[in-house]
Amino acid sequence: MPNNEFRIEIGREPSVQALDAAESMYSNNILLLIQKNSQNDDITENDLQPIGVLAKIILKLRLPNNNYKVKFKVTDRINVLNYESVNPYFVCNYEKCITLSSSPEREAILMKNVMESFSKNYNNFVSSADEILQTIRNGASADVLSDVIAFRLRGDVDKYKYLSELDVCNRLKYLLEDFELNKELTDLEDKINQEVKKSIDQSQKEYYLREKMKAIQNELGDKARQDEEVEEFRKKIEESQMPERTKEKARQELSRYASTSNQMAESGIMRTYIETLVNLPWGNQASVDNNDLKDVSMKLDSRHYGLEKVKERIVEYLAVKIMTNCNPHTILCFVGPPGVGKTSLGKSIADALGRKFIKQSLGGVRDEAEIRGHRRTYIGAMPGRIIKGMLEAKTVNPVFLLDEIDKMASDYRGDPAAAMLEVLDPEQNNNFSDNYLEEPYDLSQVMFITTANSLEDIPAPLRDRMEIIELSSYTEFEKFNIAYKHLLPRELTDHGLSDSQLKIEEEAMYEIIRNYTREAGVRELNRLIATICRKTVKDILINKTESTVITKENLANYLGKPRFFNNVSRPENQVGIVTGLAYTQFGGDTLDIEVTYYKGKGGLVLTGKLGDVMKESAQTALSYVKSHAAEYGIPMDRFNENDIHIHVPEGAVPKDGPSAGVTLTTAIVSALSGKPVDSHIGMTGEVTLRGQVLPIGGLREKSIAALRSGLKTILIPKDNERDLDDVPDEVKKLLKIIPVANVGEVLDYAIIK
């Protein structure tokens, strides 16, 4: 339409060339004509409407797709007279069309009607009214206004009729007609929308009412159910043996619960609380102990091989309990490496006495609330582990095993050890307070037993209240017997096998113990026996095997290649490498210490993750060697002109403790004097500056580990001679144990002259 500006994208090749020609030859003037059929791409002059417009190119932008975006300002209506050429673009002669008015009076009335109609409803008629309103305000003529409005008419309107009409009266009439049509369509649309909305409103209302009805029904049903439950709780509270004070609290809580709708969140919290109170064992809800000590002792014997001293201590402990008819005032604590039977002893004690057995692991507990529970004001509050255990026990006198008490940690959330103290202290534990419970709870009839891997890590005040019973590593012989007497029969039963269906030869069993496991206890051994059982069951079901015998030869078919090579050959004698004996919470172990030196300024380098005590031992050892250099044939300048490097391999394991003193000294002397060390000798002992060898701990564990790794002789501090009783006989038979009083003796034995 004339009197407008508009943008359009242009891509067809002839059109693009026409654009270029208009720019270069016709001062940006161009004719725009309408195709009769817009689907047709390949057009001739006959495909074009005769009336079009003359326009000026105002802006031409090239788009990434190579089309042009062009803005035109349309100035005139034109009528094409004839075409001069049609290739590559059309060139034609034209005349400008002059707008007329058939009747100025009619024009005025029509104009007034158009303005009225338009101003009432313009947003329905046109796409952007602002520019039109501006044109009206500027006092545009009927000619201009009709073009401006027609250009922007909404809907599916034939606009060519406006373009080709030269009488402005007709154009205004068309506008009024199109307005009317548009209004009818809009009304129709509104009506349809209204109807749709009405039907949606209706169904929404029904949905809402139905939901409401459901909620009411639920409420009525739940109330009946809740009433029933309240009655049941009331009965349980009255029958329960809880102290009168606690009972009163439970009653109060129950009446609050009864008057709270169970749609409310608090209702659930109250319910859980009341449930906890009535489910806890109270008063004399106790099991009756087996007081026949002989029977108890036999039961322990039948379940646990060896451990004579341990079992004896347990029986004594229980004897006191029977005599006094109350729990002894100390708590048993089994200390030892993993898999030596600490937990299972606890279970056996419970079984032998006929008490319930409860186990809670304290490993990693750092929050006091885990022991003592959370206050009920917290969302998801729960009682602590002790009360949870009692809920499980259902009797007031279970055997309660607190596992890994040495692995408790403390942080800003409080000190769990302090809470444990209250649990374990017989003076206090008849009034144990749990934050969740809010009422005191009597733990005095519970038999607490604790376990730990290392004694040092148990907080001192707790340790004071405990009777420590140490369990140590098993020797091969003990493991062998445990395997045949306990592990194998149990695994056979668990796998539904009879002892004629699976036999493990003794040689094979030793092979498993020596070359497939390296542990203080028997857990891995147990697992491997279970693996053999599993594979046997599979063979029986798939291959119809009648019976399986495991020999040393066919063992690898079941367990794969051996994982360790214990008791095989020791390395050759070397300079600067000495085997020490260590004692960790996982049992005894051997530890090679390496020393070397190189040009330097008399420095000392220590690597291998050593603790402070071990670093000091290294300093002391070096000072000792320096002061006795001459005796071992080490020239003094070897210290000054070199740096000495001490390395203890297996960097991931933190190592500490003074008992590596002799080993460090021997390694330094060997390295600096260039004399090799006997690789079949292991040693342990603290050394003073004067060279005196001081006693160490864990002799039994260390000697077992020494034998396990193929050492033939071990050097131990003279003062440890008294501990030789603890060393199992079969170890003493195979291992030469030499007590030494000072480092000089150690070097005499270890260094090869």
What are the residues binding ligand ADP (CB under 6 A)? 304-307, 338-344, 451, 482, 486, 521-523, 526
Distance between first and last Cα of the chain? 118
> Which helix or strand (DSSP H or E) is residue 252 part of?
helix 244-258
Instruction: Decide: residue 416, CB within 10 A, 0-12 exposed, 13-18 middle, 19+ buried.
Output: buried
Least Å distance, CB 474 to ligand ADP, is 7
Question: 29-32 and 4-10: which strand pairing?
Answer: unpaired
Q: How many CB atoms lie within 10 A of CB 691?
A: 22
Q: How many CB atoms lie within 10 A of CB 149?
A: 26
Is the CB of residue 645 less than 8 Å from the CB of residue 607? Answer: yes
Least Å distance, CB 720 to ligand ADP, is 25
Least Å distance, CB 577 to ligand ADP, is 34
| Residue of 356, 702, 703, 709 marked catalytic | 702
- Which is nearer to ligand ADP, 97 or 482 (by Cβ)? 482
Least Å distance, CB 342 to ligand ADP, is 3
CA distance linking residue 531 with residue 549, whole number of Å:
14
- Which is nearer to ligand ADP, 242 or 522 (by Cβ)? 522
CA distance linking residue 456 with residue 585, whole number of Å:
10
Crossing angle (nearest 10°) for helices 142-152 and 129-137: 170
Least Å distance, CB 532 to ligand ADP, is 16
* Alpha helices per DSSP H over 373-453: 385-393, 416-424
- Which is nearer to ligand ADP, 15 or 526 (by Cβ)? 526
Coil vs helix vs strand at 511: helix
CA distance linking residue 694 with residue 686, whole number of Å:
5
CA atoms within 13 A on the CB side of 631: 11
Least Å distance, CB 328 to ligand ADP, is 22
Cis peptide bond prior to 676, omega within 30° of 0: no
Eight-state DSSP code of residue 301: H
Is the CB of residue 24 less than 8 Å from the CB of residue 32? Answer: no
Least Å distance, CB 522 to ligand ADP, is 5
Looking at beta carbons, which residue is closest to ligand ADP?
Answer: 341
- How far, in Å, are 386, 429, 465, 466, 735 from residue 426 at the CA level? 15, 5, 9, 11, 46
| Count of H-run helices and E-run strands, the chain | 26, 23
Least Å distance, CB 419 to ligand ADP, is 23
Least Å distance, CB 425 to ligand ADP, is 24
- How far, in Å, are 228, 232, 233, 390 from residue 239 at the CA level? 17, 11, 10, 19
- Which is nearer to ligand ADP, 307 or 390 (by Cβ)? 307
- Which is nearer to ligand ADP, 339 or 691 (by Cβ)? 339
Q: How many CB atoms lie within 10 A of CB 64?
A: 5
Coil vs helix vs strand at 434: coil
Is the CB of residue 457 less than 8 Å from the CB of residue 406? Answer: yes
- Which is nearer to ligand ADP, 495 or 523 (by Cβ)? 523
Eight-state DSSP code of residue 512: I
Coil vs helix vs strand at 290: coil
- Which is nearer to ligand ADP, 3 or 472 (by Cβ)? 472
**Neighbouring residues of 162: CB distance < 8 A, sequence distance ≥ 6:** 1, 146, 147, 150, 171, 174
> Mind giving me the DSSP string for 663-730?
HHHHHHHHHHHT--B-TTEEE--EE-TT-BEEP-S-HHHHHHHHHHTT-SEEEEEGGGGGGGGGS-HH
| Residue of 240, 659, 679, 703 marked catalytic | 659
**Rounded-to-10 torsion of CA 568, 572, 573, 574:** -130
- Which is nearer to ligand ADP, 122 or 448 (by Cβ)? 448
Least Å distance, CB 554 to ligand ADP, is 25
712 among known catalytic residues: no
659 among known catalytic residues: yes
Residue type, 115: M
CA distance linking residue 91 with residue 674, whole number of Å:
110
Least Å distance, CB 347 to ligand ADP, is 8
- Which is nearer to ligand ADP, 338 or 661 (by Cβ)? 338
Instruction: At 285, list the tokens.
Output: 């809800």
Least Å distance, CB 310 to ligand ADP, is 9
Is the CB of residue 107 less than 8 Å from the CB of residue 172? Answer: yes
Is the CB of residue 721 less than 8 Å from the CB of residue 745? Answer: no
Q: Region of 203 please: left (phi>0), alpha (psi -120 to 50) or beta.
A: alpha
CA distance linking residue 748 with residue 753, whole number of Å:
9
CA distance linking residue 733 with residue 687, whole number of Å:
28
- Which is nearer to ligand ADP, 94 or 400 (by Cβ)? 400
Task: Pick the closest to residue 110 from 165, 68, 154 (CA basis).
Answer: 165
**Active centre residues (catalytic):** 659, 702
